Chain A
């Protein structure tokens, strides 16, 4: 078994307030992720899961605690590119074609342009968009935009891929299709993935492990290993174990939501 590629130790983030106690977004997060593992984080809205992803990526500093990547401590000021971030909105640069959007990350890596082009093309092909190199984002559908977004994050060959509800803005059909696509792409790219979602079935379908967050301040409430081998397809969704796991996770989230004042508060 491969060693941990990512380790979070007592990670907390709080925002100081002018008066009173600081606003605690999440606290005491301890999480170890193996190389090549696909871990999903689910939890009630506003539990800090997206903020956690941002802290892991170094977009925000933690208030306390440490992040280790390959047993080396990672700080938000580090310039080395270790992680790819797939944003919720596709956040594609509208003035760049899909190929040039994918090239953005590679340009920061001081790769030679020809090599970078080849890599970008390879990842565009991987996400199934060969032939769309010269299309601008506004000429692509939402699903296609997310594919480019994914290719852009993968193209820099990060150790860890962080995905922040990447399919949340898609319609239900496209979303299901993109989940299957992600399964296929992941099986080929073999990346360590931290995937934040509020959709439990999505988390189970995609992951090796599902981490359930408590209500804010977010803490890890429980973890579940997903008992399905790969490759997977949609059929596992009707498997008894899948449905049971989905129910168990749902009950926990429901409890967390009730603790914050119920659904009316959402």
Chain B
């Protein structure tokens, strides 16, 4: 039933798109979804020109995302466990979190050059905050009774962390990781708009400049599919790692 509804919803959306495209009837503004599908097919299987862009964007996303997890989770934990670190890091975190990342992009490009490094850094900046903040709150929100339980059993601090605090935080961390996907992909697009020669962001930007509407839409759709794919992977991991309760809603 759920599957039918979802499929129906997508079908309706495409239909609306088709109707609007037919009404406007100007292929320099919007093309019908079937033209986009045809163009995507062509770019994938005939000219194969999508692959280098997809490949470049995927790697940038993957590295930035992974780096954000590797650094964000432990930093969130340390902040949760040490009031000292929390007090020092908090103002910076709030500042960096609320500043639009696009404002950082030119500076980062200036510093790191137009290499992959600066793009990864932009993606990293997008991903790290949801992960860090969720790891932090996840660890602080651990049921007090569980902590008392550990104390009552005279568990060591080490055991308290690994047997109680860490597993209790996992659902929060994964929710943060899920949230960071969208922000990471936005980072990819931003990074590739500023001085790049390949990547989906570059492709979209270039197609927009040259009024190549079908290619532009293929780029957007590819971003969407990448996001959905990453989202589904995290969901599978959640199903496996957190079987005992429903997923925390992304908020």
Contacts and interface: CB of A to CB of B under 8 A. Distances in A.
Interface of A: 57-59, 78-81, 83-85, 87, 89, 91, 93-95, 104-105, 107-108, 136-138, 156
B134 to A, nearest CB: 17
Given A108-B155, A136-B244, A91 B143 contact: yes
A79 B154 contact: yes
B146 A91 contact: yes
Interface in B115-174: 143, 145-146, 148-149, 151-156, 159, 163-164, 167-168, 170
A89 to B, nearest CB: 6
Contacts of B100: none
A93 B167 contact: yes
Contacts of B244: 94-95, 136-138
A181 B149 CA distance: 23
Contacts of A59: 148, 151-152
Given A93-B146, A94-B245, A105 B153 contact: yes
A93 B156 CA distance: 17
A85 B152 contact: yes
Given A89-B145, A107-B163, A80 B245 contact: no
Task: Tell me the interface secondary structure of chain B in the complex.
Answer: helix
Task: Tell me the interface secondary structure of chain A in the complex.
Answer: loop
Task: Give me the 4 closest cross-chain CB pairs, A-B, nearest first.
Answer: A85-B152, A94-B244, A105-B153, A91-B145
A93 B152 CA distance: 14
Contacts of A156: 153
Contacts of B170: 95
Contacts of A80: 154
B155 A138 contact: no
Interface string B201-229: 00000000000000000000000000000
B159 A107 contact: yes
Given A95-B167, A104-B163, A57 B245 contact: no
B249 to A, nearest CB: 17
Contacts of A107: 155, 159, 163
Nearest to B244: A94
A33 to B, nearest CB: 18
A245 B244 CA distance: 45
Contact of A81 (B143, B154, B168): B154
B243 interface: yes
22 contacts: A59-B148, A59-B151, A59-B152, A79-B154, A81-B154, A83-B152, A84-B152, A91-B145, A91-B148, A93-B146, A93-B164, A93-B168, A95-B167, A95-B168, A95-B244, A107-B155, A108-B154, A108-B156, A136-B243, A137-B244, A138-B244, A156-B153
Nearest to B155: A108
A231 to B, nearest CB: 30
User: Which of the listed residues A89, A93, A156 has the most CB atoms from chain B within 10 Å of its own CB?
Assistant: A93
Given A136-B244, A138-B245, A87 B149 contact: yes
B151 to A, nearest CB: 6
A205 to B, nearest CB: 26
Nearest to A88: B145
Contacts of A138: 244-245
Given A81-B154, A93-B167, A95-B170, 5 more contacts: A58-B151, A91-B143, A91-B146, A95-B244, A104-B149
Contacts of A95: 167-168, 170, 242, 244
A122 to B, nearest CB: 18
A104 B143 contact: no
Contacts of B159: 107-108
A255 B154 CA distance: 39
Nearest to A93: B146
Contacts of A84: 152
A57 B150 CA distance: 12
Contacts of B167: 93, 95
A94 B151 CA distance: 18
A247 B149 CA distance: 36
Contacts of B143: 91
A81 B170 CA distance: 29
Contacts of B145: 87, 89, 91
